[in-house]
Amino acid sequence: MKLKKKEYTTRAEKQKDFAIGVGIFIGLNVLLWAVLSLAFRLITGITGNMDQVIITYIILMLGCLFYVVPILLNLGIFIYFALTRVWIGWGFLGTFALLILLGILAGIIWSAICFATM
């Protein structure tokens, strides 16, 4: 399968694709969070009367799987759009970078609040 890059002719096309990339990132990750949360709750509900050690190992294995699946899915979709529709890829990457930056800033503010009260 040969991936073909889209040729953009106007700035409006680029802006539209960038907005689509932002929407895809947010929508995909909200959907993944909902599905994985539901699956995790179902698994913990099913294992209600099992031995605690077995439950711990099941949850540990599923927890690892539940963290790997979103990373691989996001990475695969980003690579696909980076090779075919570049501005959707930039929207995807820009949203991820903005959320990482907000997380870092929240951590800095939280640390400053915690240490200011000492």
pTM of the model: 0.77
Instruction: Determine, yes or no, domain membership for 105.
Output: yes
**Is 6 a member of any domain?**
no
Angle between helix 86-116 and 52-84 (nearest 10): 130
pLDDT for the residue 40:
77
Determine, yes or no, domain membership for 102. Answer: yes
Q: What pLDDT does 36 receive?
A: 83
Q: What is the pLDDT of residues 11-63, one digit of tens each?
A: 999 999 999 999 999 999 999 989 888 887 777 776 666 677 777 777 778 77
Q: Is residue 1 part of a domain?
A: no
Expressed as residue numbers, the domain containing 44 is: 15-111
Domain membership flag for residue 31:
yes
Quick: pLDDT tens for 78-110. Answer: 999 999 999 999 999 999 999 999 999 999 999
Instruction: Report the number of distinct structural domains present in the chain.
Output: 1
What pLDDT, on the 0 to 100 scale, is given for residue 3?
79
Distance, in Å, from the CA atom of 90 to the CA atom of 81, rounded to the nearest integer, reads: 9
